[in-house]
């Protein structure tokens, strides 16, 4: 069985948005408080985090995480890699470097943004990271757990989702090919980004996400990377098809596969 915890379900600005007083940002419902998008998948005793954005520290503390086995990076935007410095805490407690899996392009940005972690004369206490290269068309293993990359587009940028067991996790997509859909066809649980209702240049809208879900035909679909423009949870959750749900921070779902 594979378990997924939604660490964050919000956009690059999170929800509430700084200085915004809209109906959603002022909601008293905890489900409308969305940290930057991230997830944690656990299977066979292996714990894998997908993306480490600016809220990584807060997410690890909230879920009381004492150990991680790897971090997978979907792409290099700051809301997905901005918290990598905080892997230092796991360096101390686990007494080893943290394994981070990313494409070569994403690794270049990580090395640039966190150059102090890769310098020849590293300052004591900098993050200790082992970088592993993902090839978008090749499955790979994390401590015996198979991970299948799923390639999509984020405007002009290639971005990766991942299939682990019965769960497929796609975020920051605005396009996906039929070939990639075949890799997740009939998956048990599909997680997919749905930014808002109106067209966006680099993210699926609600209708577009629902269309991909229709093509994939999962048992359940969960929508993530949701902006304050979508509406309050109590309102929007009533508008979805059967077996489709808006995710929220801290939600835990389990695959039957």
**Residue 101: which region, alpha, beta or left (left: phi > 0; alpha: psi -120 to 50)?**
beta
Contacts 24+ apart (CB under 8 A), 108-111: 108/76, 109/76, 109/81, 110/73, 110/76, 110/81, 110/84
- DSSP run (H or E) holding 20: none
Q: pTM above the 0.95 mark?
A: yes
In this predicted structure, what is the pLDDT of residue 40? 98
pLDDT along the chain (257 residues), means of 10: 97 98 98 98 98 98 98 98 98 98 98 96 92 98 98 97 98 98 98 97 98 98 98 96 97 94
Percent of the chain's residues with pLDDT above 90: 96
> Comparing C-alpha atoms, which of 193, 227, 217, 189 is closest to residue 207?
193
Q: What SS3 state is found at 136? A: coil
Mean residue pLDDT across the chain: 97
- Give CA–CA dist 197/206, Å, rounded: 5
User: Domains of the chain, with CATH numbers?
Assistant: 2-255 (3.60.15.10)
In this predicted structure, what is the pLDDT of residue 194? 98
Percent of the chain's residues with pLDDT above 70: 100
- Give CA–CA dist 57/60, Å, rounded: 5
- Give CA–CA dist 38/83, Å, rounded: 11
In this predicted structure, what is the pLDDT of residue 123? 86
Rounded (5°) CA angle 7-35-126: 75
In this predicted structure, what is the pLDDT of residue 121? 87
Q: What is the DSSP letter of 10?
A: B
Q: What is the pLDDT of residues 70-122, one digit of tens each?
A: 999 999 999 999 999 999 999 999 999 999 999 999 999 999 999 999 998 88
* Pairing state between β 244-246 and 252-255: unpaired
């Amino acid at each position: 069985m594979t378990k997924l915890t939604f660490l964050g379900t919000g956009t690059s600005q999170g929800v509430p948005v700084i200085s915004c007083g809209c109906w959603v940002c002022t909601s008293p419902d905890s489900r409308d408080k969305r940290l930057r998008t991230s997830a944690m998948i656990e299977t066979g005793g292996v714990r894998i985090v997908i993306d480490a954005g600016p809220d990584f520290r807060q997410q690890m503390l909230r879920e009381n995480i004492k150990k991680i086995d790897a971090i997978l990076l979907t792409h290099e935007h700051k809301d997905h890699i901005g918290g990598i410095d905080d892997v230092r805490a796991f360096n101390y407690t686990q007494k080893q470097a943290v394994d981070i899996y990313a494409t070569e392009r994403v690794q270049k940005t990580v090395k640039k943004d966190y150059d102090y972690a890769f310098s020849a004369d590293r300052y004591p206490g900098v993050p200790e990271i082992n970088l592993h290269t993902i090839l978008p068309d090749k499955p790979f293993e994390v401590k015996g757990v198979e991970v299948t990359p799923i390639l999509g587009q984020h405007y002009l940028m290639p971005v990766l989702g991942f299939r682990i067991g019965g769960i497929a996790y796609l975020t920051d997509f605005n396009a996906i090919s039929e070939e990639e859909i075949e890799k997740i066809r009939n998956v048990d649980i599909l997680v997919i980004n749905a930014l808002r209702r109106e067209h966006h240049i680099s993210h699926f809208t609600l209708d577009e996400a629902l269309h991909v879900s229709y093509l994939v035909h999962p048992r359940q679909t969960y929508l993530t990377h949701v902006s304050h423009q979508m509406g309050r949870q109590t309102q929007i959750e009533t508008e979805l098809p059967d077996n489709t749900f808006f995710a929220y921070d801290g939600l835990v779902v389990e695959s039957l596969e």
